[in-house]
A and B are shown apart, each in its own frame.
Chain A
């Protein structure tokens, strides 16, 4: 390509720079620099601390990748936090009774089943996903408490703990590898495959997509199925990192995940999906959590500041 055309392309890209879709990168960099300066004494920029941020946000990041698809299709999934909790306890119980492989499969099956039920109801019975997954949120957490009598289920299987959480590959935490894999696949599928394109078409204009031949019902089913599986995978990572299954793992994560996705530039009205943006949205939330702890705020203060920052950031990212 000649220099002239590449300058033109660059100019065009600049002209089309979309504030809403890219604010997350600016915000991320700004907050990062701010914390690096203000919290340099508290060890914020210490590589170990930075890796910790990655570790702690791994589960949110992975669920955010799937949630990007759900929201791009103009649906929502509120059940992911509960599904993660149930997957964690089911995996732990199954490993203890039947071994590693059955445990992993059982954990994934939790998300596949709940996602398929939600997806089926939304796609073919046309029940709004907000209601279906709100119901599923309560139902799933109830099951998790029921089968464990609300007690934690410890995991002793070292292989499982190494793969799903605690382990490192050289200097790189295993959790980081999972996140990179999920985001890479998620971004390619969203931007470069028919499925991703059809997800955005479904969310962008349901009727037009249907008339053009997009199987919109199937798309809705698939995004909720994927979201369920991703949630159960995140639950299994919790179980690995914390070496036990508890129904509380993942509680409330749906809100962080949705905030991460919106921060990342995906429209709540559907039609847009920014997988890489969602990752940075998740990291942004992790960054703030970490910074507030290092700054010495107590838990209640952290909650207030975190809430305010997220509202502010989402408001900014909605600006045209």
Chain B
């Protein structure tokens, strides 16, 4: 295989939005059959660079070469013609069409001028066979689990003869075994000479799958190196630009955890996914929930918040047994939930930050019976300052903020209600490293102020860095309860989760 000529090469790419430069003289190349990781904080320029490659944005300066030949990528059609395929983070399939119809959309095989769906199905099946995966091409996309959506997207790119695949956080919505399947597929694609740009925040994955890494920071390329020659610390330092990977180290908390039990759950069950769970949380304590996808973590917090109805068991808060069967009741009892999918469940993306922040607080923001704009703005400004939410002005649309700042808005919104028990479901998912450490610090601060936190995270270092105690869930029940001191290493916890220890 000729690895001398890169599959794609971007040279001296410059791009500004208005007067704001987002890419400064960036070089980036991917060899044939190489997996090249692209890392950087949100806003570092990763997605802009990739959108230029896909023809969504136009570069201001620089050149792009595909297989050694200069190409003009003026729009998405040109990019596809040049062999650049994208596996989107937010899926790019038509849910109501079948797998085969999606794969050949705009490229449908025809017979006598009409679409030949049977042939499309057969061709799709051939592609899946080559990928060594099993997907039924005649199913509609919406009826399949998301892991299969991604395979469909990859098949779609391959059907268009893509030489380069751009994968943006491809494991974000996958369970562990599904992610393993994806990694195996990536290996097979490599041997076929497909070049892959792999965008990810997850260090373990990058080491697992990538050959080289390029790090962008503030629009400039700060590192390109073979992963054999670079340590995780060096990568993190390149990404955040300061000697501070310290956010993943467990810090002793400044405030003592009190003896007082705030929340006591006994034999709680809800449907088949949550069985007989008992736990205690004390004032000022951070309880981490670990477990695989589908282990019942989300179901547990959703039941505590009244979204799922308990079928058995009791919930006691401050010594009082309560019947929590709706979120309203949970809120009244000073419980708040920061949900897993902030875009769908936590925010009204089209509304202003002020409106989102004060939505649960409106009762306290009235004057003479009507909502007071002045009070809403004042309260919002307090929260924005308290949580260091970075925005141009408080009235800006939430949807236009970065992922990390959106998450801070969700947290600020619920802490505004002054809850005693805060449930957080994957609060750092899809957030860059800088904001991640801010959110983790925030969690510590919240607990130090005498609130109790139950935190779900799939990223174990993160869980280990903040939790006082970790509950491991498996198949809907508690398989282990561990004090932080009892966990010597990430590997130990990983084994406990897998059920091997």
Interface residues of A (CB under 8 A from B): 12, 16, 188, 191-194, 197-198, 200-201, 203-205, 207-214, 267, 270-272
Contacts and interface: CB of A to CB of B under 8 A. Distances in A.
A188 B96 contact: no
B76 interface: yes
A200 B115 CA distance: 14
Given A193-B114, A193-B115, A211 B96 contact: no
Contact of A271 (B56, B95, B138, B156): B95
Nearest to A210: B76
A209 B94 contact: yes
A197 B101 contact: yes
A208 B91 contact: yes
B96 A204 contact: yes
Interface residues of B, number: 26
B105 A201 contact: yes
A143 B136 CA distance: 54
Interface string B98-129: 00010001101010011101000000000000
A200 B95 CA distance: 10
Nearest to B136: A12
A208 B76 contact: no
A103 to B, nearest CB: 33
Contact of B105 (A12, A207, A209): A209
B80 A197 contact: no
Contacts of A208: 88, 91-94
B80 A201 contact: no
B87 to A, nearest CB: 12
Contact of A200 (B86, B91, B94, B114): B94
A121 B91 CA distance: 29
Interface string B456-490: 00000000000000000000000000000000000
A194 B104 CA distance: 10
B166 to A, nearest CB: 12
A212 B92 CA distance: 8
B97 interface: yes
A50 B108 CA distance: 41
A197 B92 contact: no
Nearest to B55: A211
Residue of A207, A213, A267, A272 with most partner-chain B CB within 10 A: A213
B106 A213 contact: yes
Given A193-B115, A197-B97, A205 B92 contact: yes
Nearest to A192: B114
Given A188-B114, A208-B91, A267 B105 contact: no
B77 interface: yes
B313 to A, nearest CB: 30
Nearest to A205: B94
B96 A200 contact: yes
Nearest to B56: A211
Interface in B2-41: none
A212 B106 contact: yes
Given A197-B105, A212-B105, A204 B80 contact: no
A208 B88 CA distance: 10
Give the secondary structure class of B's interface. loop
A193 B88 CA distance: 27
Contacts of A211: 56, 76, 86, 88, 92
B115 A213 contact: no
Contacts of B80: 213
Contacts of B114: 188, 192-193
Residue of B93, B105, B117, B139 with most partner-chain A CB within 10 A: B105
Contacts of A271: 94-97
Contacts of B95: 204-205, 271
A126 B95 CA distance: 23
A313 B354 CA distance: 41
A204 B92 contact: no
B7 to A, nearest CB: 21
Nearest to B114: A192
Nearest to B92: A208
Interface string B216-229: 00000000000000
A205 B142 CA distance: 12
B444 to A, nearest CB: 38
Contacts of B115: 191-194, 197
Nearest to A269: B96
Contact of A214 (B88, B106, B117): B106
Contacts of A209: 94, 105
A271 B98 CA distance: 11
A194 B117 CA distance: 11
Given A197-B108, A213-B76, A214-B105, A267 B92 contact: no
A188 B115 CA distance: 10
Contacts of B94: 200-201, 204-205, 208-209, 271
A188 B114 CA distance: 8
A201 B97 CA distance: 7
Contacts of B143: 16
B96 A272 contact: yes
Contact of A198 (B88, B106, B113): B106
A193 B115 CA distance: 5
A119 B105 CA distance: 23
A12 B139 CA distance: 10
A271 B94 CA distance: 8
Nearest to A204: B94
What 4 A-B pairs are tightest by C-beta distance, nearest first?
A271-B96, A204-B94, A208-B92, A192-B114
Contacts of A193: 113-115
A231 B76 CA distance: 36
Given A192-B114, A197-B105, A213 B77 contact: yes
Given A192-B114, A193-B114, 16 more contacts: A188-B114, A194-B108, A197-B105, A200-B96, A200-B97, A201-B105, A208-B93, A209-B94, A211-B76, A212-B105, A213-B77, A213-B106, A270-B96, A271-B94, A271-B95, A271-B97
A211 B166 CA distance: 14
Interface in B266-282: none
A151 to B, nearest CB: 47
